């Protein structure tokens, strides 16, 4: 399909490049859709990042990330909500398609997943009016269950969709193949996401065997076991035809390579493996 679009999540280029270098690197390879992280934006300054986006006609497929709603005190939960409101403002300043939410895990020493999940729902509900008023959809990203404790207690697409239904307009999901490929209900849940019209982003990478680190050993598309084309077909059948966003955290491999090699490889693999 000639009209498929590769977007670059700038975490993929974190090894050597800041925001400006990453944008230049993407442009050298004709990539005009990016998804930066807030720390990358902060390092160059929000105004300058927004200027670069506008000057180059970039599409910002998402800002990473809001979320982290659970807290072990009312004050910490309120601070998270304030921070998410700021993240919404930043996403609006960048003209982002959505704010990606990594919702948070167990707060403090808690072992109460049910409670944490309630805090997530409450937190999103609290910031949703501001998101709606700002025109920024909130994109819940279900993370792999290996992150349930410390990053996100929403671990399946179906769970995220329940929240979308509960919270209503302005809330959708990210489907990241790395987090969801194993799920026996994957096909059915993607179909459901399509019916609810709430697929906001499609992230790609690959699951390596062996995986040497829980967080920082994601693979380049084609180097692992995920059937990326089959999942894309499900997502397209569900009505989503937006960009596929490459998001690879790879401390010991891709982050150590020259940025241009990483971008070039993403482009090549996008053509043949995705």
The span of 1-9, 41-49, 119-127, 179-187 binding its own copies (CB under 8 A) equals: 179-187
- Interface residue with its own copies among 87, 106, 163, 177 (CB under 8 A) is 106
Query: Applying CB under 8 A, does 189 fall inside the site for its own copies?
Result: no
Distance separating alpha carbons of residues 139 and 63, to the nearest angstrom? 10
Q: How far apart are CA 192 and CA 243, in angstroms?
A: 20
Residue 183 within binding range of its own copies, rule CB under 8 A: yes
The full DSSP string for 212-256 is: --TTTBPBPTTSSS--HHHHHHHHHHTT--SPEEE---BTTTGGG
Rg (CA), the chain: 17
Q: Which is nearer to its own copies, 32 or 211 (CB)?
A: 211
Per-residue x/- mask for its own copies, residues 207 to 236, rule CB under 8 A? x-xxxx-x---------xxxx--x------
Q: Given the complex with its own copies, which of 78 and 225 has the nearer CB atom?
A: 225
Three-state secondary-structure class, residue 151: coil
Q: How far is the CB of 219 from its own copies (least distance, A)?
A: 11
Number of helices and strands in the chain (H, E): 10, 9
Which residues does residue 219 pair with via DSSP β-bridges, in sequence order? 206
Residues 146-175 that bind its own copies (CB under 8 A): 146, 148-150, 153, 155-156, 159
Segment interacting with its own copies, rule: CB under 8 A, options 16-24, 45-53, 65-73, 110-118: 110-118
115 binds its own copies (CB under 8 A): no
List 48, 72, 82, 112, residue binding its own copies (CB under 8 A): 112
String marking each residue 5-44 x if it binds its own copies according to CB under 8 A: ----------------------------------------
**CA–CA gap between residue 42 and residue 47 (Å, rounded):** 9
Q: DSSP assignment, residue 29?
A: T
The b-or-e profile of 104-114 (16+ CB within 10 A means b, else e) is bbbbeeeeeee
Rounded Cα distance, 161 and 192, in Å: 8
The H or E element spanning position 26 is helix 19-28
CB 211 within 8 A of CB 259: no
CB of 51 to its own copies, least distance (A): 38
Q: Which is nearer to its own copies, 133 or 214 (CB)?
A: 214
CB of 270 to its own copies, least distance (A): 17
Positions in the binding site for its own copies (CB under 8 A) = 106, 110-113, 117, 144-146, 148-150, 153, 155-156, 159, 181-184, 207, 209-212, 214, 224-227, 230
């Amino acid at each position: 399909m000639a009209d498929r679009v590769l977007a670059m999540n700038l975490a993929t280029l974190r090894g050597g490049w800041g925001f400006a270098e990453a944008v230049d690197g993407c442009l050298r390879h004709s990539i005009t859709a990016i998804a930066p992280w807030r720390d990358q934006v902060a390092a160059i300054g929000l105004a300058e990042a927004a200027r670069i986006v506008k000057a180059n006609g970039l599409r910002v497929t998402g800002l990473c990330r809001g979320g982290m709603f659970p807290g072990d005190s009312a004050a910490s939960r309120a601070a998270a909500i304030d921070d998410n409101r700021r993240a919404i403002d930043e996403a609006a300043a960048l003209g982002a398609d959505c704010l990606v939410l990594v919702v948070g895990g167990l707060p403090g020493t808690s072992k109460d997943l049910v409670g944490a999940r309630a805090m997530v729902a409450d937190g999103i509900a609290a910031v949703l009016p501001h998101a709606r008023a700002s025109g920024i959809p909130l994109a819940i990203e279900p993370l792999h269950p290996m992150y349930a404790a410390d990053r996100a207690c929403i671990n399946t697409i179906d769970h995220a969709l329940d929240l979308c239904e509960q919270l209503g307009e302005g809330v959708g999901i990210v489907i990241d193949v790395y987090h969801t490929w194993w799920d026996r209900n994957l096909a059915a849940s993607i179909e459901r996401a399509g019916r609810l019209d709430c697929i906001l982003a499609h992230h790609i990478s690959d699951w390596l065997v062996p995986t040497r680190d829980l967080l920082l050993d994601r693979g380049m598309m084609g180097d692992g076991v995920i059937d990326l084309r089959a999942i894309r077909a499900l997502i397209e059948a569900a009505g989503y035809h937006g960009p596929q966003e490459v998001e690879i955290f790879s401390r010991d491999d891709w982050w150590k390579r020259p940025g241009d090699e990483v971008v070039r490889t993403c482009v090549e693999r996008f053509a043949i493996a995705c």
